[in-house]
Amino acid sequence: MPPKWRTEPRFPDGPAPDPAGSHHERRIRSFQPRRSRVTTGQGEALKRLWGTWGLDIDGHSVIDLEALFGGLPVVLEIGFGMGEATAQMAAADPATGVLAADVHTPGQGNLLALAERGGLSNVRVANGDAIILLREMLAPGSLAGIRVYFPDPWPKARHHKRRLIQPEFLTLAATRLAPGAVLHCATDWEPYAEQMLEVLTAHPDFENTQADGGYAPRPDFRPLTRFEGQGLDKGHVVHDLLFRRTEN
């Protein structure tokens, strides 16, 4: 029997518990759905706004990004947490559409509430597996960028295969990025940063934006999040990696 998070709709007009369930596949996933309490405000935002600004990653059809964002160039953000940084970046750059994908229901509701409060018409919230979104629902060359900020580092050696930034993911991502578009990763887990740098440097479809071939300074457009601040207070070192999709 599938776990309850896959079968029980928490919000009848909101995100589906398992939108791509019919596309079940035996694949190691880089995320684990988390069950945590949805606040009243988050729940109200999901009920009120999901039909307008939300979409389920069901794998059934290719998204018309031009229609969805009114012709804006679109950046995909994979894993946005509670959405504070996503909302800040969207507000600072209204000429770019942000397709924000996550499986965390409280975060989805929080980002929708932030978008409504800030009048951010350039934000859409996608619920489900970003791999299915990239592979089955986005057209080749349709993205102006991809952001992966503080993905789960899966620190135990036996779990490293679950890390998102792997050669297979980069190959898929490259097909959906327009030539010259940037994949921007950030992590405060040193071993994961080293792996990211290694696999990105080795991949033929990406080139480092840094002349020295190393990490990039944190760009001004990426806000310092509360999560990041907590890590810095603990002595963590945050690494940004900005790699450009090659023209080949």
205 has binding-site annotation: no
What pLDDT does residue 158 have?
Answer: 80
Host H or E run for residue 113: helix 105-118
Higher local confidence (pLDDT), 210 or 30:
210
Higher per-residue pLDDT: 167 or 12: 167
∠ CA 229-231-234, nearest 5°, is 115
Mean pLDDT value of segment 10-34: 62
CA angle, corner 132, sides to 113 and 15, nearest 5? 30
| Residues of the chain above pLDDT 90, percent | 75
* Domain at 56-245: CATH architecture: 3-Layer(aba) Sandwich (3.40)
Known binder of ligand: residue 11? no
Is 171 marked as a binding-site residue? no
pLDDT tens by residue, 77-92:
999 999 999 999 999 9
pLDDT value for 219: 96
Q: At what angle do helices 105-118 and 84-92 cross, to 10 degrees?
A: 30
**Per-residue pLDDT, 187:** 95
pLDDT above 70 (res 49): yes
Q: Which of 56, 93, 152, 240 is catalytic?
A: 152
pTM of the model: 0.88
Q: What is the mean pLDDT of the chain?
A: 89
